[in-house]
Amino acid sequence: MSDHIMNTYGRLPVSFVKGEGCYLYDEQGQRYLDALTGIAVCGLGHSHPAVAQAISEQASTLMHTSNLYGIPNQEELADKLCELSAMDRVFFSNSGAEANEAAIKIARRFGHTVKNIDLPTIIVANKSFHGRTLSTLSATGNPKVQAGFEPLVPGFIHVDFNDMGAIKQVADHNDNIVAVMVEPIQGEGGLITPANSYLKEIRAFCDEKGFLMILDEIQTGVCRTGKWFAGQHSDIVPDVMTLAKGLGNGFPIGACIAKGPATEILVPGTHGSTFGGNPLACAAALATINTMQEQNLEQRAAELGDYFQQGFKQSLADLIKQGFVKDIRGKGLMIGIELAQTCTELVKKALDKKLLINVTADNVIRLLPALITSDTQADEIIAIVSELIADL
């Protein structure tokens, strides 16, 4: 590996040079089954023809102009996202962290301009992950992400996830609260799924208090959990929702979507992005979303998710009984298997078996397979992962 790459990642000893559907190919031409899809990015699998064609056509027509001008396919994409989410307005960014920056700026400016609060403060959750920029790492509930980057950006108060009482208690003692920001399922934190009532309770509480409810759907959004957006499992619509990972099937694009009182907060001069929502990025995202809609992949993700859950519960039944496998959880194609011990070494062992998986929070195997994974490929993933766990 080149010495000229900054050393920010512990990389596995493999380099992929080609992808097709659920498979990646390394420099020697060896094939790997991908159950991670670049961390919930390539929902349609690798090199999807519809996305590749949309990008290549747009690239040879018009790649970039500027948000100083109208961008027709950005408008089309915004209309589509608002229709799917029952929300009102979109700001496009290039990444998840930037989408969250926009959300945080909306919350702060909402505090200043609507609530007359000088030090607007957002309630966020422990074990959350919201990104690596200074404000998003400050919102993140993980000391490892923050260490060495102090002073942190102020204006965030952390409470335990899935604890409605903790949110109420903070709000009762702090007049500066303007928003509550959570992930519907904590992805990086260990695939932590809250009680079904949690998001509904936050929604009701934010309505009662006049707070903005911000849902970070950067990992859970775009059909990943078996709904277009994970908040829809709880029948709620947030005031602000952020998307990124799955939105462009690998082309970098993020979105911060607002509804109701949050839609009018950002006005000319308050926020912007050179690249955000440029014609090329929007072509990729439109092709991604249209394909998901045409192929009803929202439902496929839900069904395949159940298939994985049942498959793992069967194949790991003995290890569950023995307490070695503590939990199998998740929604749709966001699948977590929690073990009684740390298991980070499984990532390399899976690689040796030509399967790509991830371990988060040290003891949770995380699978984020493509929405186009076949039943046979799912069987293969279940068999290899179960064998790896049994061999531990």
Ligand X SMILES: *Cc1c(COP(=O)(O)O)cnc(C)c1O
Q: Return residues touching ligand X (CB under 6 A).
A: 95-97, 100, 129-131, 183, 187-188, 216, 218-219, 244-245
Between CA 189 and CA 144 the distance in angstroms is: 12
- Using CB atoms, what's the residue nearest to ligand X? 96
User: Which among 323, 257, 207 has a CA at the least distance from the CA of 91?
Assistant: 257
Decide whether 129 or 198 has the Cβ nearer to ligand X.
129
Q: Whose Cβ is closer to ligand X: residue 325's or residue 364's?
A: 364
> Of the two residues 224 and 388, which places its CB atom closer to ligand X in the complex?
224
Answer for the pair 368, 224: CB distance below 8 angstroms, yes or no: yes
Residue 369 beta carbon to ligand X: minimum distance, rounded to whole angstroms: 16
Q: How far apart are CA 217 and CA 224, in angstroms?
A: 10
The string over 309-320, giving b where at least 16 C-beta atoms fall within 10 Å of a residue's C-beta and e elsewhere, is bebbeebbeebe
Place of tokens 């859970």: 220
User: What is the closest distance, in whole angstroms, from the C-beta atom of residue 188 to ligand X in the complex?
Assistant: 6
Q: Please, what is the minimum distance in Å from the beta carbon of residue 132 to ligand X?
A: 6
Report the nearest approach of ligand X to the CB of residue 246 (Å): 10
Between residues 289 and 319, which has the closer beta carbon with respect to ligand X? 289
Give the nearer residue to ligand X in terms of CB position, either 112 or 271: 271
DSSP state of 262: G
Question: Which residue's CB is nearer to ligand X, number 180 or number 382?
Answer: 180
- Gap between the Cα atoms of 312 and 121, Å rounded: 42
Minimum CB distance to ligand X, residue 310 (Å)? 26
CA distance 141 to 127: 5
CB of 97 to ligand X, least distance (A): 3
Q: Which amino acid is at 89?
A: R
